[in-house]
Chains A and B, each alone.
Chain A
């Protein structure tokens, strides 16, 4: 005994006992402090824990009243959990492995109000998730959804009618003027009276006069004859020219008469009213929302991408005096972290969800089991049932797989904005949805299918459905649809999948749309004709009148010509 320090031994035993008792008594408080500070640092905002209780056999922790501050809105909790119970494997802890045999989380709630605003310890980290612009949906564009303004169409069509008819008008005026002059010449009474009186005088002088007087009369007659011949020659040339000009005018008029029809065709060809692009209404209607969901999915994918795509082995740098651990055959290989079983319940805005999880670990190859999470909600506020399941298979480093399913039955939809914007604002007032969706991920590629069946649908649009623009036509047709299916497929590269949207709404809408479209087209074309007539009708009418009057002149001239012949035949005798 002389070689043993008895007092020191006693002091050691007492100290150890005191430490053990104090540790046991204050373990909860100590763990609470450690957990709070660690979680706060990880979250970047205050995390509060009401109580932590430690159980020794089996080793378990019961944490109650967990409040995780939302660093964006510190007056709200990101998550609030009533209680979480963790049962740990003691033997595994000795091997520096955290094996949670059973995890139970009760009443998870999101976005709850805090009694006081939580402290923010770090700036909100901007993870740089790109706000990608929404992919433009193909099909109906804003322009093609509106019927073009007729006046603008006519202004921009480069119409020939006004120019052609103006030129024709001028030409007709000139011809008319010439005809009038010629008629005036033929109807020049003073001239003809003068010729007549001269002729009568010559005739009288010749009858009663002597030879000299007769010779003088003959000379006067010769002069008169010469003048009349000259007049007739002039008249003949003018008449010939006028006839040519008249023929030209007639030909130009004949050609000009076709111009309005040609212009109308030109106007019709300057806009498209053939319903092209109307065959994929579903993409126009649902494309915007679906691409929105895809953007969200991509955001989450980017967060889990490192876990799904890490293939290289990290080589640890050995520090001096730390050595390295040599691993032997493990009879019961265990991951460094594993949640064998977990149960949780969450209160979401749509109702209560109950979930379970199995084999949650990053070292799945040690267990040879994939991680499975299931979540289901029954008798929810807006649906009969909702089931979500996620299977993450990281067992093979080369082929990491993910399988996500989301099934909804009897989901009541109220006031769901199908398509926003001014082009075709459309609201699904009421509907019932049954959805089956599945997304499979493998080798950085996805294959996603979502099949939705909408029944008892009631659409409404803010557009005037009696309107004649295409958006109103579509709105009017859609409002008549009471049930339809939507089939969405996303395949290809996980970050840039090809999206295909199919729906029988296309056929349903198109059938009604085509009928209405034909009606509108006829009405529109009629309107164009009316407008054309309004603009150029008078001009065309005036030309027609002028041409008619020219024809009248021609007739009267011909009768005048006959009269002239009669008159002249008198002088011949």
Chain B
């Protein structure tokens, strides 16, 4: 837990571009929301490997969102059910259903569809929110924190440094 916080603060304070951190969070959301190992998930993982996305932030986001997704599964399934049952989209879905490729992509699975819809809807807002927040943190909060005693204590604490190094080695 401490290690996670330390990592988050280090990342936020590092010279990693804010958009890389924000994209890591958002792609973590996409993979974490998806309950199945689908082609979509694998494609996102491929993007993470190819693009300069912050992997640590992706892993943090993925872990956290997976936990939330597990708890929110009924909601995700309900969203997928509602989308697949939308009358106006029925023709589109019927066409997709008769295509081998789309069937292979499990589009007609309520959990897969629900997670995809939630991911798509929340992807851009979350990206921009995270981007703004990271910039704000670096410009305002980080400067303010550097002047606090807690920050001084934490940065000089041997215990925290030891814990951070151990977790670094392990990871």
* Contacts from A to B (Cβ < 8 Å): 2-5, 8-9, 12, 90-96, 320-332
Q: B52 touching A326 by the CB < 8 A rule?
A: no
Q: A3 touching B52 by the CB < 8 A rule?
A: yes
Provide the residues of chain A in CB contact with B69, threshold 8 Å. Answer: 321
Contact for B70 among A12, A96, A321, CB less than 8 A:
A321
Q: A323 touching B114 by the CB < 8 A rule?
A: yes
Q: B46 touching A330 by the CB < 8 A rule?
A: no
Q: How large is the interface on B (under 10, 10 to 19, 20 to 34, 35 or more residues)?
A: 20 to 34
Q: B90 touching A323 by the CB < 8 A rule?
A: no
Q: A94 touching B100 by the CB < 8 A rule?
A: yes
- Which of B7-15, B78-86, B118-126, B150-158 faces chain A? B78-86
Q: How far is the CA of A327 from the CA of B73 in the complex (A)?
A: 21
Contact for A323 among B35, B46, B50, B85, CB less than 8 A:
B35
Provide the residues of chain B in CB contact with A9, threshold 8 Å. Answer: 49-50
Q: B51 contacts the other chain (Cβ, under 8 Å)?
A: yes
Q: B112 contacts the other chain (Cβ, under 8 Å)?
A: yes
CB nearest neighbor in A for B70: A321
Q: B97 touching A5 by the CB < 8 A rule?
A: no
Provide the residues of chain B in CB contact with A96, threshold 8 Å. Answer: 103
Q: Which 5 A-B pairs have the closest CB atoms?
A: A323-B111, A94-B100, A321-B35, A328-B97, A323-B110
Once A95-B104, A322-B111, A328-B108 are accepted as A-B contacts, the answer to whether A2 and B35 lie under 8 Å apart by CB is: no
Q: A91 touching B111 by the CB < 8 A rule?
A: no
Provide the residues of chain B in CB contact with A92, threshold 8 Å. Answer: 100
Provide the residues of chain A in CB contact with B50, threshold 8 Å. Answer: 4-5, 8-9, 12
For the complex formed, measure the closest distance between the CB of A41 and the CB atoms of chain B, giving whole angstroms: 25
For the complex formed, measure the closest distance between the CB of B27 and the CB atoms of chain A, giving whole angstroms: 14
CB nearest neighbor in A for B106: A325
Q: A95 touching B100 by the CB < 8 A rule?
A: yes
Q: How far is the CA of A4 from the CA of B85 in the complex (A)?
A: 39
Interface mask (B30-67 → A, CB under 8 Å = 1, otherwise 0): 00000110000000001001111000000000000000
Q: How far is the CA of A93 from the CA of B104 in the complex (A)?
A: 9
For the complex formed, measure the closest distance between the CB of A226 and the CB atoms of chain B, giving whole angstroms: 145
Provide the residues of chain A in CB contact with B113, threshold 8 Å. Answer: 323
Q: A328 touching B94 by the CB < 8 A rule?
A: yes
Once A12-B49, A321-B111, A322-B111 are accepted as A-B contacts, the answer to whether A327 and B100 lie under 8 Å apart by CB is: no
Q: A2 touching B52 by the CB < 8 A rule?
A: yes
Q: How far is the CA of A5 from the CA of B52 in the complex (A)?
A: 6
Q: How far is the CA of A345 from the CA of B57 in the complex (A)?
A: 62
Interface mask (B91-102 → A, CB under 8 Å = 1, otherwise 0): 001100110110
Query: Chain B CB within 10 Å — which of A94, A323, A324 has the most?
Result: A323
Q: How far is the CA of A5 from the CA of B49 in the complex (A)?
A: 7
Provide the residues of chain B in CB contact with A332, threshold 8 Å. Answer: 98
Q: How far is the CA of A325 from the CA of B93 in the complex (A)?
A: 12
Q: B6 contacts the other chain (Cβ, under 8 Å)?
A: no
Q: A330 touching B36 by the CB < 8 A rule?
A: no
Provide the residues of chain A in CB contact with B114, threshold 8 Å. Answer: 323
Provide the residues of chain A in CB contact with B117, threshold 8 Å. Answer: none
Q: How far is the CA of A9 from the CA of B111 in the complex (A)?
A: 30
CB nearest neighbor in A for B105: A94
Q: A8 touching B49 by the CB < 8 A rule?
A: yes
Q: How far is the CA of A152 from the CA of B57 in the complex (A)?
A: 107
Q: How far is the CA of A2 from the CA of B80 in the complex (A)?
A: 37
Sample of 6 A–B contacts (CB below 8 Å): A4-B50, A5-B51, A94-B100, A321-B69, A323-B35, A328-B98
Provide the residues of chain A in CB contact with B97, threshold 8 Å. Answer: 327-330
Contact for A331 among B52, B93, B98, B108, CB less than 8 A:
B98
CB nearest neighbor in B for A92: B100
Given A4-B52, A5-B52, 5 other A-B contacts at CB below 8 A?
A: A12-B49, A95-B103, A321-B69, A323-B77, A326-B108
For the complex formed, measure the closest distance between the CB of A241 and the CB atoms of chain B, giving whole angstroms: 123
Q: How far is the CA of A324 from the CA of B36 in the complex (A)?
A: 12
Q: B70 touching A326 by the CB < 8 A rule?
A: no
Q: How far is the CA of A2 from the CA of B50 in the complex (A)?
A: 11
Q: A91 touching B84 by the CB < 8 A rule?
A: no
For the complex formed, measure the closest distance between the CB of A23 and the CB atoms of chain B, giving whole angstroms: 16
Q: B4 contacts the other chain (Cβ, under 8 Å)?
A: no
